[in-house]
Structure 1
């Protein structure tokens, strides 16, 4: 059994979903999403037993390109995040009716296929192909099924597409240059390439442009808030919960080990860029009146801190970043889903037009509160584990980085609790807020269960990812 089975399930699932027709599309997509998540768990079990579940086969002889998939603890953690969230996101969409549903759900599975491929690929060109493939489905999901004025939506999505594509081209140029040195795109061969300080600087920068746009980091973030707002909630959850993790994962997997000299020399600059995103995102979130935009800028602040952790070049920084990636994926999907639940009942995302929900549905309010507390890293939630570890790693580099990075907790607590107060508390709204349905309740409970379980017992994930991160650090230190 090898890891390519997950890709086969998702790709075949996308085709079958499209052929199933609009009535059955959602159920077929959920079936294949659950199958992929189940397969991920089975593969994890095989990996823990010491079996080699990686896959490599010659694909193209000239240039030398392999269909190579590397399954270590780090990549499996990201695959689990992708497949589990894909199933949850698919199930969460059952409360909406979509025109041409077969295409909509097929695109979700195809996007998951591309993202899983990105996390598993260990050949540079194959990785780049999967990276670019993931852009196509989200483009159509946001454009065709998005919110608001069609022309504004088109402008936002086209800007996102062009920004991301342009950044990726720099990464492709870097891979082509590395191929000339190594004679191969395989990651093991690229790790062995000897580069001068100048060469490393330019390759580091080329990778950074691609990753900074995808994450996004300031000042490459200008596409984010509008796309998050205009995209349907499913699209926003895919973008924020999974797709931005591709950039953060790639920093650890590709950028740092290939260009360790540049990473070490310029780490203070890039840590500062990440922390600047924390402060900027938090301040802008304070001023937002639209719930989805507030959550978008909150996400910008959190991923800035994660990026800062990756550039510390410490085990704690890398480990905390990966833990926070996974925790952020679940909590941000949960928060955007609660925004969707409110919109289904009130048909508004303006916070001032909400209020009084607690008096009508304490059950939903309680689940929303847990997600808010997880977002601000309350102890016993998964986010606390990752965020505390990242802040500790920043203090090892410079205590001021930790102090400034910690503003995400203070400012985050302020704008998230204020948002909760205005949306949930106060006088009863004139509109009736129906209690959560069974589908909505199952979705929220599943997300909350993950956040609380791993908040109190993160050891399984730490044990899974630590050996891979230690190998990457050894690679950085060996060349450095």
Structure 2
């Protein structure tokens, strides 16, 4: 068994989910996604040398391309994030009724397949194909099953599609140039290139455009809040929990090792943009009246800090960024799910129409509160591990980066706790808030258990990814 089994499982699962029909689609999708998680855990726990799982087969003769997959701790950590969140996201949707459910759940599994392929690909052309394939399902998920009027959805989703596709074309041009230089798309061959400073600059910014839009980093963020708000909650979870990590992962895997000199030269610029996103996202979140939009801007602030950690080019920065990527994936999925649970009962996302929920459902209030505290990086949660490490890495570059970046803790605590007060506390709401179901409780408890366990004992995940971080740093510092 190797990682091609995992990819085949997700792809075949998407096909069978479509064939199964609307009544069985959700259950079939859950079964295949759970099986993919099982395969991932099996590989993590039984394989001694991850490199033995590497795959490389001749694929296209002209241009010369390989079906090449690289398996190391970093890629497996991202695949674990994908395969762990996908069944939880599918399970969270069981209370919703989707028209053409077979299409909806097949697209969810196909998107998981494309994202896992992006994390594993070790050939530039294969990587680009997986990268683009992941865009297609979320386009249709947001367009066909989203919120608000269809015209509003069309406008938001088309903007997102054009933005991301446009950025990706710059990346494709960069790969074409690198192929001209190396005669290969293989990651190992691209790492060996000796590019001039001018070449590295062009390659660095071609990649940066693609990744900055996907993450997103300001000023390339303008698509994010509208799409997060108008997509169905499942789509928002996939976008915020997993898909944006494709950009952050790619910074470490492709951009920095291929253009290390340019990364060092333009570090102040990209750090400035990343940290500006922290401040901007936090300030805009303070003014939001829609719960889903508030969480969208909160996510923008947090991923800005993660991006800053990546661009420090330090061990602590990269390690902390990976920890925060995984922690952010779990907590943001939990928060959007909590918002969906409230919407199911109140049929509104306006914060002013909520309040008084605590007196009707203490259990849901407690679960929601833990997720809020994890979001603001309370010690004892996995978010604290990543955020503290990233801030420490920023202080190694310049203490003011850490001071300004650290405002995410203060501002985040303010707007998240204020949101919690307005949504959950106060006098009993006139509307009845039915207590959370068993399925809803299971999803939230699993998410919280992960955050608390690795918050108290992060060593397994750190041991998994840190050898890969060391290899990337060795490549960055080779010049």
Superposed pair shares fold, TM > 0.5: yes
RMSD of aligned alpha carbons: 0.7
Q: Give the TM-score, by structure 1 length.
A: 0.99
Give 3-state SS (helix, strand or coil) of 1:478's partner. coil
Q: Distance in 2 between matches of 1:147 and 1:51?
A: 44
Q: Distance in 2 between matches of 1:162 and 1:222?
A: 12
Give 3-state SS (helix, strand or coil) of 1:357's partner. coil
User: Could you say which residue in structure 2 is the equivalent of 1:398?
Assistant: 398
User: Could you say which residue in structure 2 is the equivalent of 1:295?
Assistant: 295
Q: Distance in 2 between matches of 1:50 and 1:130?
A: 21
User: Could you say which residue in structure 2 is the equivalent of 1:308?
Assistant: 308
Answering whether residue 95 of structure 2 is matched by residue 95 of structure 1, we say yes
User: Could you say which residue in structure 1 is the equivalent of 2:281?
Assistant: 281
Q: Distance in 2 between matches of 1:393 and 1:48?
A: 31
Answering whether residue 22 of structure 2 is matched by residue 35 of structure 1, we say no
Q: Give the TM-score, by structure 2 length.
A: 0.99
User: Could you say which residue in structure 2 is the equivalent of 1:271?
Assistant: 271
User: Could you say which residue in structure 2 is the equivalent of 1:376?
Assistant: 376
User: Could you say which residue in structure 1 is the equivalent of 2:242?
Assistant: 242
Offset, 1:46: 3.3
User: Could you say which residue in structure 1 is the equivalent of 2:456?
Assistant: 456
User: Could you say which residue in structure 2 is the equivalent of 1:433?
Assistant: 433
User: Could you say which residue in structure 2 is the equivalent of 1:2?
Assistant: 2
1:306-354 CA-partner distances (Å, limit 9, x unpaired): 0000000000000000000000000000000000000000000000100
Answering whether residue 121 of structure 2 is matched by residue 121 of structure 1, we say yes
Q: Distance in 2 between matches of 1:45 and 1:54?
A: 16
User: Could you say which residue in structure 2 is the equivalent of 1:187?
Assistant: 187
Q: Distance in 1 between matches of 2:266 and 2:212?
A: 15
Q: What are the ranges of 5 or more consecutive residues in structure 1 without an aligned counterpart? A: none
Offset, 1:226: 0.2
1:391-437 CA-partner distances (Å, limit 9, x unpaired): 00000000000000000000000000000000000011110000000
User: Could you say which residue in structure 1 is the equivalent of 2:229?
Assistant: 229
Q: Report if the CA contact (8 A) 2:54-2:69 is conserved.
A: yes
User: Could you say which residue in structure 2 is the equivalent of 1:469?
Assistant: 469
User: Could you say which residue in structure 2 is the equivalent of 1:70?
Assistant: 70
User: Could you say which residue in structure 2 is the equivalent of 1:141?
Assistant: 141
Q: What are the ranges of 5 or more consecutive residues in structure 2 without an aligned counterpart? A: none
1:191-231 CA-partner distances (Å, limit 9, x unpaired): 00111000000100000000000000100000000000000
Between Structure 1 and Structure 2, how many residues are aligned? Answer: 479
User: Could you say which residue in structure 2 is the equivalent of 1:317?
Assistant: 317
Change (3 A) 1:50 1:122: closer
Offset, 1:61: 1.2
Give 3-state SS (helix, strand or coil) of 2:142's partner. helix
Q: Report if the CA contact (8 A) 2:33-2:83 is conserved.
A: yes
Q: Distance in 1 between matches of 2:45 and 2:174?
A: 36
Deviates more, 1:46-55 or 1:392-401: 46-55
The runs of at least 4 aligned residues of structure 1 exceeding 4 Å deviation read none
User: Could you say which residue in structure 2 is the equivalent of 1:328?
Assistant: 328
Q: Distance in 2 between matches of 1:226 and 1:424?
A: 25
Change (3 A) 1:355 1:337: same
Q: Distance in 2 between matches of 1:46 and 1:64?
A: 34
1:267-325 CA-partner distances (Å, limit 9, x unpaired): 01111110000000000000000000000000000000000000000000000000000
Q: Report if the CA contact (8 A) 2:51-2:71 is conserved.
A: no
User: Could you say which residue in structure 1 is the equivalent of 2:168?
Assistant: 168
Q: Report if the CA contact (8 A) 1:46-1:53 is conserved.
A: no
Deviates more, 1:40-49 or 1:163-172: 40-49
1:226-269 CA-partner distances (Å, limit 9, x unpaired): 00000000000000000000000000000000000000011011
